[in-house]
Structure 1
Amino acid sequence: MPGSFPSRNARYRYLQQIVSGVSDGVILIETDETIIWANETALEMHGVRTLADLGTTVPDYCGRFELRYRNGHRTAGGHTPIERVMAGETFNEVVVDVARKGEKAARWTHRIRSLVLTDDDGRRDLLVLILDDETERYHAEERFERAFNANPAPALILRLRDLTHIRVNQGFLDMTGCREDQVVGRSIYEVDILEGAARRELAIERLQEGRTVPQMEATMQLPQGGERCVIVAGQPIDVGDTRCMLFTFADLEGRRQAEAELRRSEQRFELAFRMAPVPTAIMVWKGWHVLLANDAFARESGHATDELVGQDAHALPLWADPQSTAVLDRLLRKDGRVSNLALPLQTRGGDRLDCLVSAELVEIRDQSCVLLVAQNVADRQRSKLEVADAIAAVMHDTSWFTDAVLDKLARRSAGVTDEQTSSLAELPPRAREILDLVCEGLDDGTIAERLAVARNTVRNHVASLYRRTGVDSRAKLIIWARERGVMGAPVRPRPRPRR
């Protein structure tokens, strides 16, 4: 039961009736430090059942409970909320963790307000503490904070009211190389996490509306220079009473490195395939359509490469004996490979070319293909070891037969070099946009104004373009771009002012 309420006068009785039914905890204190009454809610918030267990005086209360402010500091003597109200201080909100004396871990979290009631002469007559139980809320927030900070996935929280970053985890700091003070407290205009986003306009629209920002690729500018390719997504959340957006990131740097290594592998394969000294071709097994053919194969057969690619071996015809594909079919179905089979090719001029054919089944674009090598029997001056090395180089890893390789070889047969296309294709959307404007002759300030970004952002992109292209000046960058077909809009001369 709550402590008995002394009925000094009718006003106290009325006050008792009022506060008994409220949902907040209420503690009444006399000016002589006597705790005269506490309602059921206040007792429950301290884990006690009677006023005697709560403490009948202010010193008694302070001897039974230990209060810590939310920053983890203990409340120094004379500065607990109950002591502050005894000094006549009124405060709107103080949030404290409450534990029993001697316990390290807090049991409750209270949000406390104070009232100082005065008599007709304006002297302090009764002191009141009003308590809200915030235990569950703060425990939930603490669990979220621990999970947020411990999550290895990069993440930050943006306050929607003013678009300011209010929290950032270690994963984000490690990914970007930023310090916490370079992010927290700064607006999205200063630390633009949507810079270079594939669907930037949609992301900004959703952010302004407080709606989910779908996953999209973005290129973030790093404080020490350079950039980071990521996948970013945003989810609306409430942090306390504050509406926020939780942004999470997936670092694509590892994928970019893997793609770069794959490109290098593809280039090595392409070179090995194209420069192999023996005729080599790749054919779709079903129908025997020529998918690729190297220079040696084109030279021996008398067909240009573009005449071979896409053609049916029967329609060319490729074999002097029409039954050759049936023979290869049977052997491939039986053993999965063919070695040194005597099969004559037919050249474009109709001549018969005696060859030793080796073939192996490979998977390309989820379809069964045949990697075929044909050695001209008459060409005996080439050593068997050289032939074996050439075949091994081509057959080393069939996983290199990617779309990129096939497209590169197809472009080469059409007379288009990789240097003219691949470097441009690898540029992020924002970098390509800035390259176009550089080619128009615009300076960094004008480009920044045109794209509504910071001038430093443009400067970082231009520096990144220097690294990507291997040039060291703006003029050389423009030349590099124009050699690859990026002309930009012509720069119009400014009209002379009239005199």
Structure 2
Amino acid sequence: MVGASIDITARKKVEASLFESQQKFAKVFYSNPDIMTISTIKEGRYIEVNDAFVAISGYERHEVIGRSVIDLNILVYPEERDMVIKQIQEKGRVRDFEIELRSKYGKIGTLLVSGEIMDLNGEEYLITTTRDITERKRMEEALRLSEECLFKAFNTSPFIMTITTLEEGRFIKANQAFARIVGYDYEEVIGRTSLEIGFWLNPLERDLLKQSILARQSVRDMEIVFGNIRGEQRLGLLSAEGLDINGQACLLSVLTDITELRRMEVEMSRLDRLNLVGEMAASIGHEIRNPMTTVRGYLQIMRENKVYIQELEYFDLMIEELDRANAIITDFLSLAKNKMVDMKPGDLNAIINKLLPLIQAKALSKDQYIKLELGDIPYLLLDNKEIQQLILNLVNNGLESMSLPGYVTIKTYMEDEAVILAVQDQGKGIDPSLLDKLGTPFLTTKENGTGLGLAVCYRIAVQHNAKIDVETSADGTTFYLRFPSETGEEPMT
């Protein structure tokens, strides 16, 4: 008997190693928290799926084995599988390909697929690992919407909003209100500092702001003075918070421009004083005028008596002073807020031309001149007598401001849908410290002035819904009266 023995130790080791490898693969496959599937390449027919697939898709294992993705209608966009196969054929694998997956119950989820070809018993199959990123995508979309809302709130806010570096004040973001009020476009300021564009007129205010933020203190309603591209000085209330952007200390600032509000407060205070003076004058004016009229009458009678022929100049002086006092009372009464006005469509140029002989005569008597530059303007709603008084007061002020021969120029023109009446003199100008007080009763720089002429002008302007602006320098002063032009009338020719 002949026997043969074959050493199968090596084969047994290979078989044992293969079995162990299969066991490890099975453990990884079925316990993986991500979806794992094995399917045929051509039809996409499932050979095996893991527990994560069952949990996320809603299908039991026996419902999918042997069926394809087309049969199950599991892909929202079936063409995505063809794209995955194409990538695998071209590159040998696919990584993090985003797909939309439909569960058994119709719920749509977003997943990332990675896969490659594997050999099983001489056959090629597609093995894929798919991660569910539905919640991550939802959070990303929520974050995107939140950032979009914040951006819109930031950009459309009526308040100036900026984000700058804390150390240098270099602009990172600026909103539309910044561009509108400060005058610089977004592209012009990004990367530049607030000091470079002349925003801080008092740099010490920025230093104070910086110190407060470094001390971890919020800043609320800090009053600052800032400048714009036109060189104007503006007043604002600043609130600010520190924030960290990618490790850099930054500053979120919100600024409310209160320039016009402060001007209105000053104007309201001035108007209150005007009204008070007017009301007082209205209440006592007649009681004062009656005895003055009596005294003036007796002075005129006595003046005609030959007994007082040597004292005529004294009588004339007393009568002149009484007339001056009466004129002051008239000015007082003009300040009354309840003074009736008769507003009718009127021609401002015609009013000026009518007054020209009177004001020209007064100017010539002082070796001065009146110059007219009247443009094409529409009719305005005017009280004829009140506007005449305003023009006379402004022209008289202009003539009295010039100690040497010169011109007072009266102009009318259109500007930004407003009708402008400008009265310009060649005097020595007004002290800048008095500009905010112009129109206040009894404020005067003239030796014999009452301080009521401009107050009357401001009152007339208010009654005509007009605004007075002043420009002054050592070469003269110009008063601008801006009338609204919504009258529906055609411009005059």
TM-score, reference length from structure 1: 0.42
Higher Cα Rg, which structure: 2
Between structures 1 and 2, the one with greater helix share: 2
TM value normalised by structure 2: 0.43
